[in-house]
Chain A
Amino acid sequence: EAGVTQSPTHLIKTRGQQATLRCSPISGHTSVYWYQQALGLGLQFLLWYDEGEERNRGNFPPRFSGRQFPNYSSELNVNALELEDSALYLCASSLGTVSGNTIYFGEGSWLTVV
């Protein structure tokens, strides 16, 4: 069974541009999470979608947005890119919102802003 898949693996953008990252959850999973891991930092929560709705968002500016599609895949959009947006962006999925549901991560998308 395929795990969480993310694309692209690497993305290079210039300041001010927009970046779009994509995520396909494990089959049957309805919840998708986005996390940012900047260099030397831990995992910072960005966004959480379940059943197509945004359930929670982390302490990030509105430049960071996303959506979840009817097939539960998700997009993360980062507008007006800044240098400090360079990071590994991780998508994860789980079966719904029940606490006992483990979340599984994809391999991540490396975003470099120059």
Chain B
Amino acid sequence: DQQVKQNSPSLSVQEGRISILNCDYTNSMFDYFLWYKKYPAEGPTFLISISSIKDKNEDGRFTVFLNKSAKHLSLHIVPSQPGDSAVYFCAARRYGNKLVFGAGTILRVKS
């Protein structure tokens, strides 16, 4: 039962352009969403989060958008840099429950 889906296994973007990573979820009880970045052989690193009471959260080059009616969130990285190349995981949780992850999207930023 995949409650969190990242339908794009990979994404390739030119340096300096915008990277948009998408995530869909099915459980309307989720109230907190997070994005993690993971390099090979390392643990995931927290990037940015958003509560279900908001529709946008920004942190530097990273912005997360939440569309609750569509059960969709996205991560925008502007401008993209080669060091952003990694696997990006979308995750969601509801109060008192475990974090559920998507399968991840490999982002490649070409210089």
Contacts and interface: CB of A to CB of B under 8 A. Distances in A.
Interface of A: 4, 6, 33, 35, 41-43, 45, 48, 55-56, 58, 88, 90, 92, 97-100, 102-108, 110
Contacts of A99: 31-32, 51, 93-97
Given A98-B95, A102-B49, A105-B45, A42 B100 contact: no
Interface stretch (B16-24, B36-44, B77-85): B36-44
A92 B49 CA distance: 16
B43 A90 contact: yes
B51 A100 contact: yes
A105 B103 contact: no
A97 B31 CA distance: 13
Given A105-B36, A108-B43, A42 B98 contact: no
Interface residues of B, number: 25
22 contacts: A4-B43, A41-B103, A42-B89, A42-B101, A42-B103, A42-B104, A56-B98, A58-B98, A88-B41, A92-B99, A97-B95, A97-B96, A97-B97, A99-B95, A100-B51, A103-B46, A105-B36, A105-B45, A105-B46, A107-B43, A108-B42, A108-B43
The 8 closest A-B pairs by CB, nearest first: A105-B43, A42-B103, A99-B32, A43-B101, A107-B43, A99-B95, A105-B44, A97-B96
Given A99-B32, A103-B99, A90 B49 contact: no
A102 B46 contact: yes
Contacts of A97: 95-97
